[in-house]
Amino acid sequence: MENLNQYIEHTLLKQDAGEIDLIKLFDEAKENNFFGVCINPCYVKLAAEYLKDTPVKVVTVIGFPLGANTTETKIFETINAVRDGADEIDMVINVTKVKDRQTDFLIDEIKLIKSACGGHNLKVILETDLLDKDEIKYACECAIKGGADFVKTSTGFVKNGVGAKPEDVELMYNTVKSAGLQVKASGGIRDKQTALKMIKAGAVRLGTSSGAKIVER
């Protein structure tokens, strides 16, 4: 696949990642012409400055990794991230509210965070390892009603979690495609074969820390 690099958001979200590690990530993203990098909010300024003369987008995470922050906290994080130079926002949905079917809360939170994005793309991380198929579909429907641009599978931080699965990506794609939303697969994508399976299932973005390996010839 010739343009596989443009599906990849080269990701580094580890708690102990240092500036040297991040610079390596940025350099790999530039060298491979990846779509973007995905990093924690405290490094958005660094990423935006380092990548300012490149087409590589800066993506950051909000309410990460649990999604259980207050809505006000998530809004504040989003405003700060955009101010610091983030091009796209990946927010973690409140998984408990999904399981409790608190529809109004979920839709309102997504709407408020989308508004705080200032026109930038908002991806809603569903954490599919913790949801059954009906809950995945329900969370996607809330993302549609909340005005999100993408739904995303996983944070990659669930203990013993699998992360992205092709069948979940396909379910998400089939649920949101008629509303114009797109799908990002993330979590456990460590080789080209897996990456291609996610794309075949409907993903247009891949969140992975193995981007350089995936595009190796």
Q: Which residues are catalytic?
A: 90, 152, 184
192 Cβ contact list (under 8 Å, min separation 6):
4, 214, 215, 216
Instruction: Give the phi and the psi of residue 3 in degrees, each rounded to 5.
Output: -105, 30
Q: Using alpha carbons, list the distances in angstroms from residue 52 to 12, 30, 124.
A: 19, 11, 25
**Cα(119)–Cα(179) distance, integer angstroms:** 18
Local structure of 2: helix, strand or coil: coil
Beta strands 57-62 and 36-39 are parallel
